[in-house]
Amino acid sequence: MRPADKTRRKPKLKIGVLYGGRSGEHDVSLCSAASVVAALDKSKYDVVAIGIDRGGRWYVQDQPEIVVDKAFGKILSLKKRGLWLVNHFEQKNKLYIYNLETSGEKVFVDVVFPILHGTYGEDGTLQGLLELAMVPYVGVDVAGSAVGMDKDIAKRLLKEAGIPVVPWITVSKHDWLEHPKNILNHAGNQLSLPLFVKPLCTGSSVGIKKVKVKKELADAINYAFQFDTRIMIETGIDCREIECAVLGNNNPQASVPGEILPQHEFYSYEAKYLDPEGAQMNIPAKLPAKLSAAIRQCAVAGFKALNCNSMARVDFFLDKKTNQFYLNEINTLPGFTSISMYPKLWAATGIQYGELLDHLVDLALMRHREKSAIKTD
Protein backbone atom coordinates (compact mmCIF):
# COMPACT_ATOMS: atom_id res chain seq x y z
CA MET A 1 0.00 0.00 0.00
CA ARG A 2 1.32 3.45 -0.93
CA PRO A 3 1.81 5.85 1.98
CA ALA A 4 -0.70 8.70 2.24
CA ASP A 5 0.29 11.77 0.28
CA LYS A 6 0.56 14.41 2.97
CA THR A 7 0.98 17.12 0.35
CA ARG A 8 -2.35 16.34 -1.30
CA ARG A 9 -4.54 19.40 -1.51
CA LYS A 10 -7.95 19.52 0.08
CA PRO A 11 -10.83 19.12 -2.37
CA LYS A 12 -11.97 22.43 -3.76
CA LEU A 13 -15.09 23.94 -2.30
CA LYS A 14 -17.78 24.77 -4.81
CA ILE A 15 -18.91 28.34 -4.16
CA GLY A 16 -22.27 29.44 -5.50
CA VAL A 17 -22.26 33.20 -6.08
CA LEU A 18 -25.89 34.38 -6.06
CA TYR A 19 -26.44 37.75 -7.69
CA GLY A 20 -29.00 39.99 -9.40
CA GLY A 21 -32.34 39.61 -7.65
CA ARG A 22 -35.74 41.28 -7.33
CA SER A 23 -34.48 44.60 -6.06
CA GLY A 24 -33.87 48.20 -6.99
CA GLU A 25 -30.20 47.35 -6.39
CA HIS A 26 -30.15 44.64 -9.08
CA ASP A 27 -27.52 46.44 -11.17
CA VAL A 28 -25.31 47.12 -8.15
CA SER A 29 -25.40 43.40 -7.39
CA LEU A 30 -24.08 42.60 -10.87
CA CYS A 31 -21.13 44.92 -10.18
CA SER A 32 -20.35 43.35 -6.80
CA ALA A 33 -20.65 39.82 -8.22
CA ALA A 34 -18.12 40.59 -10.96
CA SER A 35 -15.55 41.64 -8.36
CA VAL A 36 -16.19 38.62 -6.13
CA VAL A 37 -16.03 36.09 -8.98
CA ALA A 38 -12.80 37.64 -10.26
CA ALA A 39 -11.16 37.63 -6.81
CA LEU A 40 -12.12 34.17 -5.49
CA ASP A 41 -9.00 32.00 -5.44
CA LYS A 42 -9.52 29.42 -8.20
CA SER A 43 -6.94 27.10 -6.61
CA LYS A 44 -9.26 26.80 -3.58
CA TYR A 45 -12.73 27.18 -5.09
CA ASP A 46 -14.77 26.16 -8.07
CA VAL A 47 -17.15 29.03 -8.74
CA VAL A 48 -20.73 28.62 -9.91
CA ALA A 49 -22.50 31.88 -10.75
CA ILE A 50 -26.26 31.81 -10.24
CA GLY A 51 -28.08 34.85 -11.56
CA ILE A 52 -31.57 35.78 -10.36
CA ASP A 53 -33.46 38.03 -12.77
CA ARG A 54 -35.76 40.89 -11.81
CA GLY A 55 -38.73 38.50 -11.87
CA GLY A 56 -37.13 36.08 -9.40
CA ARG A 57 -36.16 33.34 -11.90
CA TRP A 58 -32.82 31.55 -11.34
CA TYR A 59 -30.28 30.93 -14.13
CA VAL A 60 -27.00 29.06 -13.72
CA GLN A 61 -24.20 30.61 -15.75
CA ASP A 62 -22.16 27.88 -17.47
CA GLN A 63 -19.17 30.17 -17.88
CA PRO A 64 -19.41 33.31 -15.72
CA GLU A 65 -18.63 36.24 -17.97
CA ILE A 66 -17.56 39.70 -16.85
CA VAL A 67 -18.62 42.37 -19.32
CA VAL A 68 -18.52 46.17 -19.39
CA ASP A 69 -21.75 48.11 -18.93
CA LYS A 70 -21.84 51.74 -20.08
CA ALA A 71 -23.39 52.98 -16.83
CA PHE A 72 -21.96 50.62 -14.21
CA GLY A 73 -18.60 49.46 -15.56
CA LYS A 74 -17.63 45.81 -15.02
CA ILE A 75 -20.62 43.59 -14.27
CA LEU A 76 -21.27 39.85 -14.18
CA SER A 77 -23.43 38.99 -17.17
CA LEU A 78 -26.77 37.34 -16.45
CA LYS A 79 -27.69 35.08 -19.37
CA LYS A 80 -31.09 33.44 -19.31
CA ARG A 81 -30.39 29.86 -20.36
CA GLY A 82 -32.75 27.29 -18.93
CA LEU A 83 -34.95 27.83 -15.89
CA TRP A 84 -33.56 26.43 -12.68
CA LEU A 85 -35.25 25.17 -9.54
CA VAL A 86 -33.66 24.93 -6.11
CA ASN A 87 -33.83 21.56 -4.37
CA HIS A 88 -31.94 20.88 -1.13
CA PHE A 89 -33.12 17.38 -0.26
CA GLU A 90 -30.74 15.27 -2.35
CA GLN A 91 -27.78 15.46 0.03
CA LYS A 92 -27.41 17.24 3.36
CA ASN A 93 -25.45 20.52 3.46
CA LYS A 94 -25.35 20.97 -0.31
CA LEU A 95 -27.60 23.11 -2.46
CA TYR A 96 -28.75 21.41 -5.68
CA ILE A 97 -30.15 23.36 -8.59
CA TYR A 98 -32.01 21.61 -11.40
CA ASN A 99 -32.70 22.77 -14.93
CA LEU A 100 -36.43 22.54 -15.58
CA GLU A 101 -35.98 22.64 -19.36
CA THR A 102 -33.69 19.62 -19.63
CA SER A 103 -33.74 16.18 -18.06
CA GLY A 104 -31.22 15.41 -15.36
CA GLU A 105 -29.05 18.51 -15.67
CA LYS A 106 -28.03 19.82 -12.24
CA VAL A 107 -25.33 21.63 -10.31
CA PHE A 108 -24.61 21.71 -6.60
CA VAL A 109 -22.74 24.09 -4.32
CA ASP A 110 -21.06 23.62 -0.93
CA VAL A 111 -21.21 27.24 0.20
CA VAL A 112 -23.45 30.05 -1.04
CA PHE A 113 -22.00 33.55 -1.37
CA PRO A 114 -25.01 35.87 -1.71
CA ILE A 115 -24.32 39.19 -3.43
CA LEU A 116 -27.97 40.20 -3.53
CA HIS A 117 -28.25 43.74 -2.21
CA GLY A 118 -31.56 45.08 -0.96
CA THR A 119 -34.99 43.45 -0.94
CA TYR A 120 -35.21 39.63 -1.17
CA GLY A 121 -31.45 39.29 -0.73
CA GLU A 122 -30.32 41.36 2.21
CA ASP A 123 -33.50 41.28 4.29
CA GLY A 124 -33.43 37.72 5.64
CA THR A 125 -35.58 36.25 2.86
CA LEU A 126 -32.77 34.42 1.09
CA GLN A 127 -31.05 33.62 4.37
CA GLY A 128 -34.20 31.86 5.54
CA LEU A 129 -34.23 29.70 2.41
CA LEU A 130 -30.60 28.73 2.95
CA GLU A 131 -31.17 27.99 6.65
CA LEU A 132 -34.06 25.72 5.68
CA ALA A 133 -31.82 24.02 3.14
CA MET A 134 -29.12 23.58 5.82
CA VAL A 135 -26.50 25.08 3.49
CA PRO A 136 -23.57 27.23 4.68
CA TYR A 137 -23.74 30.78 3.40
CA VAL A 138 -21.69 33.94 3.70
CA GLY A 139 -23.06 36.96 5.53
CA VAL A 140 -25.37 37.86 8.38
CA ASP A 141 -28.02 35.27 9.25
CA VAL A 142 -31.81 35.59 9.19
CA ALA A 143 -32.49 37.69 12.29
CA GLY A 144 -29.62 40.14 11.82
CA SER A 145 -30.38 40.56 8.13
CA ALA A 146 -34.07 41.28 8.71
CA VAL A 147 -33.41 43.72 11.54
CA GLY A 148 -30.55 45.47 9.78
CA MET A 149 -32.66 46.00 6.66
CA ASP A 150 -35.50 47.67 8.55
CA LYS A 151 -34.20 51.12 9.44
CA ASP A 152 -36.92 51.78 12.01
CA ILE A 153 -36.47 48.55 13.98
CA ALA A 154 -32.68 48.90 13.77
CA LYS A 155 -32.79 52.44 15.18
CA ARG A 156 -35.04 51.38 18.04
CA LEU A 157 -32.67 48.56 19.03
CA LEU A 158 -29.62 50.78 18.71
CA LYS A 159 -31.25 53.45 20.85
CA GLU A 160 -32.20 50.83 23.44
CA ALA A 161 -28.55 49.74 23.54
CA GLY A 162 -27.47 53.30 24.32
CA ILE A 163 -26.02 53.97 20.87
CA PRO A 164 -26.66 57.51 19.57
CA VAL A 165 -28.97 57.82 16.55
CA VAL A 166 -30.41 60.82 14.69
CA PRO A 167 -34.06 61.75 15.56
CA TRP A 168 -36.64 60.27 13.19
CA ILE A 169 -40.29 59.38 12.68
CA THR A 170 -41.69 56.46 10.69
CA VAL A 171 -44.76 56.66 8.44
CA SER A 172 -46.79 53.89 6.79
CA LYS A 173 -48.33 54.38 3.36
CA HIS A 174 -51.79 53.73 4.78
CA ASP A 175 -51.41 56.48 7.38
CA TRP A 176 -50.01 58.88 4.79
CA LEU A 177 -52.99 58.36 2.50
CA GLU A 178 -55.43 58.76 5.40
CA HIS A 179 -53.83 61.64 7.32
CA PRO A 180 -51.27 63.53 5.20
CA LYS A 181 -51.73 66.90 6.95
CA ASN A 182 -51.30 65.38 10.41
CA ILE A 183 -48.09 63.69 9.34
CA LEU A 184 -46.67 66.86 7.78
CA ASN A 185 -47.47 68.81 10.95
CA HIS A 186 -46.00 66.09 13.18
CA ALA A 187 -42.77 66.00 11.16
CA GLY A 188 -42.55 69.80 11.29
CA ASN A 189 -43.01 69.84 15.07
CA GLN A 190 -40.73 66.91 15.93
CA LEU A 191 -37.84 67.33 13.47
CA SER A 192 -35.64 70.16 12.27
CA LEU A 193 -34.90 71.13 8.69
CA PRO A 194 -33.21 69.99 6.59
CA LEU A 195 -34.84 66.56 6.49
CA PHE A 196 -34.06 63.31 4.73
CA VAL A 197 -36.90 61.09 3.56
CA LYS A 198 -35.99 57.42 3.03
CA PRO A 199 -37.74 54.16 2.21
CA LEU A 200 -37.31 51.92 5.26
CA CYS A 201 -36.07 48.77 3.56
CA THR A 202 -33.83 49.79 0.67
CA GLY A 203 -30.12 50.42 0.35
CA SER A 204 -27.70 52.22 -1.97
CA SER A 205 -29.60 55.46 -1.27
CA VAL A 206 -32.49 54.30 -3.49
CA GLY A 207 -35.55 56.51 -3.06
CA ILE A 208 -33.91 59.12 -0.79
CA LYS A 209 -34.64 62.84 -1.05
CA LYS A 210 -33.23 65.78 0.88
CA VAL A 211 -35.84 68.33 1.97
CA LYS A 212 -34.70 71.90 2.59
CA VAL A 213 -38.08 73.64 2.90
CA LYS A 214 -41.42 72.38 4.22
CA LYS A 215 -43.23 72.63 0.90
CA GLU A 216 -40.90 69.95 -0.57
CA LEU A 217 -41.74 67.35 2.09
CA ALA A 218 -44.95 65.93 0.60
CA ASP A 219 -43.31 65.33 -2.79
CA ALA A 220 -40.34 63.61 -1.12
CA ILE A 221 -42.69 61.36 0.86
CA ASN A 222 -44.63 60.39 -2.27
CA TYR A 223 -41.36 59.63 -4.06
CA ALA A 224 -40.09 57.41 -1.23
CA PHE A 225 -43.38 55.47 -1.17
CA GLN A 226 -42.63 54.31 -4.72
CA PHE A 227 -39.98 52.03 -3.20
CA ASP A 228 -41.53 50.83 0.05
CA THR A 229 -44.76 50.76 2.07
CA ARG A 230 -43.09 52.47 5.05
CA ILE A 231 -40.76 55.44 5.02
CA MET A 232 -38.60 57.33 7.49
CA ILE A 233 -38.33 61.09 7.94
CA GLU A 234 -35.07 61.96 9.63
CA THR A 235 -33.39 65.13 10.85
CA GLY A 236 -30.50 66.10 8.62
CA ILE A 237 -27.30 67.32 10.25
CA ASP A 238 -24.24 69.05 8.85
CA CYS A 239 -21.94 66.10 9.09
CA ARG A 240 -19.02 64.09 7.83
CA GLU A 241 -19.89 60.56 6.64
CA ILE A 242 -17.72 57.97 8.36
CA GLU A 243 -17.85 54.23 7.66
CA CYS A 244 -16.39 51.24 9.46
CA ALA A 245 -16.21 47.59 8.35
CA VAL A 246 -16.89 44.81 10.86
CA LEU A 247 -15.80 41.19 10.40
CA GLY A 248 -16.34 38.15 12.60
CA ASN A 249 -18.84 35.88 14.34
CA ASN A 250 -18.30 35.51 18.07
CA ASN A 251 -15.43 38.00 18.32
CA PRO A 252 -16.07 40.65 15.66
CA GLN A 253 -13.42 43.24 14.86
CA ALA A 254 -13.73 46.69 13.28
CA SER A 255 -11.55 48.09 10.52
CA VAL A 256 -10.01 51.53 10.50
CA PRO A 257 -12.70 54.13 9.77
CA GLY A 258 -12.96 55.70 6.33
CA GLU A 259 -14.63 58.91 5.20
CA ILE A 260 -16.91 59.48 2.22
CA LEU A 261 -16.55 62.89 0.59
CA PRO A 262 -19.61 63.23 -1.70
CA GLN A 263 -19.26 65.63 -4.59
CA HIS A 264 -23.07 65.74 -4.84
CA GLU A 265 -25.26 67.38 -2.21
CA PHE A 266 -25.39 64.05 -0.38
CA TYR A 267 -24.18 60.50 -0.99
CA SER A 268 -26.95 59.61 -3.45
CA TYR A 269 -27.38 56.57 -5.73
CA GLU A 270 -26.00 58.63 -8.62
CA ALA A 271 -22.95 59.68 -6.58
CA LYS A 272 -22.29 56.07 -5.56
CA TYR A 273 -22.64 54.32 -8.91
CA LEU A 274 -23.34 56.49 -11.92
CA ASP A 275 -20.97 59.44 -11.57
CA PRO A 276 -17.28 58.43 -11.66
CA GLU A 277 -16.49 61.65 -9.78
CA GLY A 278 -19.50 61.37 -7.47
CA ALA A 279 -17.51 60.79 -4.30
CA GLN A 280 -14.00 60.59 -2.95
CA MET A 281 -12.75 58.42 -0.10
CA ASN A 282 -10.28 59.08 2.67
CA ILE A 283 -9.02 55.79 4.07
CA PRO A 284 -8.21 55.96 6.89
CA ALA A 285 -10.37 58.93 7.84
CA LYS A 286 -8.56 61.92 9.27
CA LEU A 287 -9.76 61.65 12.85
CA PRO A 288 -8.19 62.09 16.30
CA ALA A 289 -7.01 58.74 17.65
CA LYS A 290 -9.50 58.71 20.56
CA LEU A 291 -12.44 59.54 18.28
CA SER A 292 -11.38 56.86 15.77
CA ALA A 293 -11.17 54.27 18.56
CA ALA A 294 -14.59 55.30 19.91
CA ILE A 295 -16.19 54.94 16.47
CA ARG A 296 -14.63 51.49 15.98
CA GLN A 297 -15.87 50.41 19.41
CA CYS A 298 -19.36 51.72 18.63
CA ALA A 299 -19.36 49.89 15.27
CA VAL A 300 -18.80 46.57 17.03
CA ALA A 301 -21.39 47.43 19.70
CA GLY A 302 -23.98 48.24 17.02
CA PHE A 303 -23.10 45.04 15.14
CA LYS A 304 -23.77 43.03 18.29
CA ALA A 305 -26.92 44.99 19.21
CA LEU A 306 -28.55 43.94 15.93
CA ASN A 307 -27.43 40.31 16.38
CA CYS A 308 -25.14 40.43 13.34
CA ASN A 309 -22.38 38.01 12.43
CA SER A 310 -19.96 37.45 9.56
CA MET A 311 -19.78 40.98 8.13
CA ALA A 312 -21.40 44.39 7.95
CA ARG A 313 -20.52 47.95 7.08
CA VAL A 314 -21.49 50.38 9.81
CA ASP A 315 -22.16 53.97 8.73
CA PHE A 316 -21.89 57.01 10.99
CA PHE A 317 -22.72 60.71 10.87
CA LEU A 318 -20.10 62.91 12.54
CA ASP A 319 -21.39 66.39 13.40
CA LYS A 320 -18.95 68.92 11.97
CA LYS A 321 -19.53 71.39 14.81
CA THR A 322 -19.61 69.18 17.88
CA ASN A 323 -17.74 66.01 16.78
CA GLN A 324 -20.69 64.01 18.17
CA PHE A 325 -21.16 60.85 16.13
CA TYR A 326 -24.41 59.03 15.39
CA LEU A 327 -24.82 55.52 14.05
CA ASN A 328 -26.77 55.96 10.81
CA GLU A 329 -27.30 52.38 9.68
CA ILE A 330 -25.77 48.91 9.45
CA ASN A 331 -25.46 47.37 5.99
CA THR A 332 -25.46 43.60 6.37
CA LEU A 333 -24.55 42.93 2.74
CA PRO A 334 -22.30 45.83 1.78
CA GLY A 335 -21.15 46.56 -1.74
CA PHE A 336 -18.26 44.45 -3.02
CA THR A 337 -17.40 46.35 -6.19
CA SER A 338 -13.83 47.36 -6.92
CA ILE A 339 -14.58 50.82 -5.48
CA SER A 340 -16.69 49.72 -2.50
CA MET A 341 -15.78 50.83 1.00
CA TYR A 342 -16.04 47.46 2.74
CA PRO A 343 -13.12 45.72 0.97
CA LYS A 344 -11.14 48.98 0.82
CA LEU A 345 -11.44 49.48 4.58
CA TRP A 346 -10.14 45.98 5.27
CA ALA A 347 -7.33 46.43 2.77
CA ALA A 348 -6.25 49.53 4.71
CA THR A 349 -6.47 47.50 7.94
CA GLY A 350 -4.27 44.72 6.52
CA ILE A 351 -6.64 42.19 4.90
CA GLN A 352 -6.58 42.20 1.09
CA TYR A 353 -9.60 41.38 -1.06
CA GLY A 354 -8.86 37.70 -1.77
CA GLU A 355 -7.94 37.01 1.85
CA LEU A 356 -11.12 38.78 2.97
CA LEU A 357 -13.22 36.42 0.82
CA ASP A 358 -11.41 33.45 2.39
CA HIS A 359 -12.22 34.78 5.85
CA LEU A 360 -15.90 35.15 4.94
CA VAL A 361 -16.12 31.59 3.61
CA ASP A 362 -14.42 30.29 6.78
CA LEU A 363 -16.86 32.25 8.95
CA ALA A 364 -19.79 30.76 7.00
CA LEU A 365 -18.53 27.22 7.57
CA MET A 366 -17.80 27.91 11.25
CA ARG A 367 -21.30 29.26 11.90
CA HIS A 368 -22.83 26.35 9.99
CA ARG A 369 -20.96 23.84 12.19
CA GLU A 370 -22.16 25.59 15.34
CA LYS A 371 -25.78 25.62 14.18
CA SER A 372 -25.62 22.02 13.01
CA ALA A 373 -24.73 20.97 16.55
CA ILE A 374 -28.05 22.32 17.88
CA LYS A 375 -30.47 19.52 18.83
CA THR A 376 -33.69 19.51 16.82
CA ASP A 377 -35.28 16.32 18.16
Return the active site residues.
25, 204, 273, 313, 315, 329, 331, 335
Angle formed by the axes of helices 142-149 and 125-132, nearest 10°: 170
Helix/strand number for the chain, H first, E second: 11, 19
Q: Residue 286: which of 337, 233, 348, 333 has the closest Cα?
A: 348
Point out which residues pair with 99 in neighbouring strands. 84
Q: In terms of DSSP H, where are the helices of the chain? A: 26-39, 125-132, 142-149, 151-160, 173-178, 180-190, 217-224, 269, 289-305, 341-349, 353-372
Cα four-point dihedral sign 298, 301, 305, 307 = positive
- Cβ(294)–Cβ(301) below 8 Å: no
Distance from C-alpha of 146 to C-alpha of 359, rounded to nearest angstrom:
23
End-to-end CA distance of the chain: 43
Three-state helix/strand/coil letters over 106-173: EEEECEEEEECCCCCCCCCHHHHHHHHCCCCECCCCHHHHHHHHCHHHHHHHHHHCCCCCCCEEEEEH
Indicate the pairing of strand 253-254 with strand 230-235: unpaired
- Cβ(323)–Cβ(287) below 8 Å: no
Q: Helix, strand or coil for residue 16?
A: strand
